[in-house]
Amino acid sequence: MIRMENVTKRYAESGAPSVDNLTLDVPEGSTVALIGPSGCGKTTTMRMINRLIEPTEGRIFVNGEDVTEADPVLLRRQIGYVIQNVGLFPHMTIAENIASVPKLLGWDQRRIDTRTLELLDLVGLDPKEMLKRYPRQLSGGQRQRIGVARALAADPAVLLMDEPFGAIDPIARTRLQDEFKQILKSVKKTVVLVTHDLDEAIRLGDRIAIMKTGKIVQYDTPDTILSKPIDDFVANFVGIDRAIKRLSLFTVADAMVAGAPAASGPSVAATANLRDALSLMVAANSDMIAVADDHGAVTGHLTRDAIFKI
């Protein structure tokens, strides 16, 4: 879906490039997270896809089209874009914000109204409460949801996200990340996500590109990045606790055994991740924990040894 071939960005002829001869393939329908230390070129890389930043050298293809030769204004109308501070138009209502790109594309009002209602439902907001309100009347989490809805309004195949949840408190951020992951299951978009949060990259990314000084050091699945870092830089970047982080990629159901545990104690949902399950075990000073279904009935158990074998 997206291919960057030998892309370089220089801001001065004599200076080091911000992005240096970078090649990247983003498969259709996947989410790729770009992450690395400050100044590594991740945001520049993403912004070159919709030509908010023009590449100095190289070619960029979106759905087979060389976007370096396309009209940048028309290109941006076909690519959804979500930023950290949302960027909603403060003088427009929520309905007008969501409708902004469809109106530029010449959609009729009935189609726009139908799409607006669909998107508010998709992001979990009540149209009766939201349509006539203004961005200043919303919480940070609500504004972020509207930002996602606006980016999806014209049903773009590609979605670019620049630190989309960075300005939200940790509890709301985790909830929005999980909800966004569910949204992606239903809308099937190709997403490039820039983040400084490794947990966010692991949670949302099908693949992660770790960058350093304008180059991609390792590009692979979260599991491989965490279990087989390619060099010391990647190992240090993902942290000494990478084995613990890796457990968040698996659910309790992946390691549980049928049958109730031998002794009573705390329980965990089968849909919970193994990182949280291990935390519960440590808190309970136990090597075993019960596994419960959605109704609270015990359906199995999980042992610490089973977690360690994942």
Could you say which of 199, 226, 246 is where a domain stops? 246
Residue 86: its pLDDT value, please?
65
* Structure tokens belonging to residue 212: 């350093």
68 or 4, higher pLDDT: 4
Same domain, 202 and 222: yes
Range of lowest pLDDT (4-18, 56-70, 251-265, 296-310): 251-265
Same domain, 100 and 59: yes
Same domain, 259 and 238: no
- Residue 50, pLDDT above cutoff 80: yes
As for how many domains the chain has, the answer is 2
- Residue 171, pLDDT above cutoff 80: no
Same domain, 196 and 72: yes
- Residues 52 and 66: their CA atoms lie apart, in Å, by 15
Taking the mean position of all CA atoms in its chain, how far away is CA 26?
14
Same domain, 236 and 258: no
Same domain, 305 and 211: no
Res. 167 pLDDT band, cuts 50 70 90: low
Same domain, 82 and 216: yes
Same domain, 263 and 240: no
Res. 14 pLDDT band, cuts 50 70 90: low
- Residues 297 and 100: their CA atoms lie apart, in Å, by 48
Residue 97: its pLDDT value, please?
93
Which structural domain, as residue segments, surrounds residue 133?
Answer: 2-246
120 close to 149: Cβ distance less than 8 angstroms: yes
Same domain, 210 and 162: yes
Q: What is the pLDDT of residues 116-133, one digit of tens each?
A: 999 998 888 899 899 999
Cα torsion 129, 130, 133, 139 to 10°: value is: 100
**0.75 exceeded by the pTM?**
yes
Which residues, listed in sequence order, are joined to residue 301 by a DSSP beta bridge?
257, 290
Could you say which of 195, 219, 246 is where a domain stops? 246
Same domain, 198 and 281: no
Same domain, 73 and 219: yes
Sheet holding 257-258, edge to edge: 257-258, 298-303, 288-292, 267-269
Could you say which of 227, 246, 265 is where a domain stops? 246
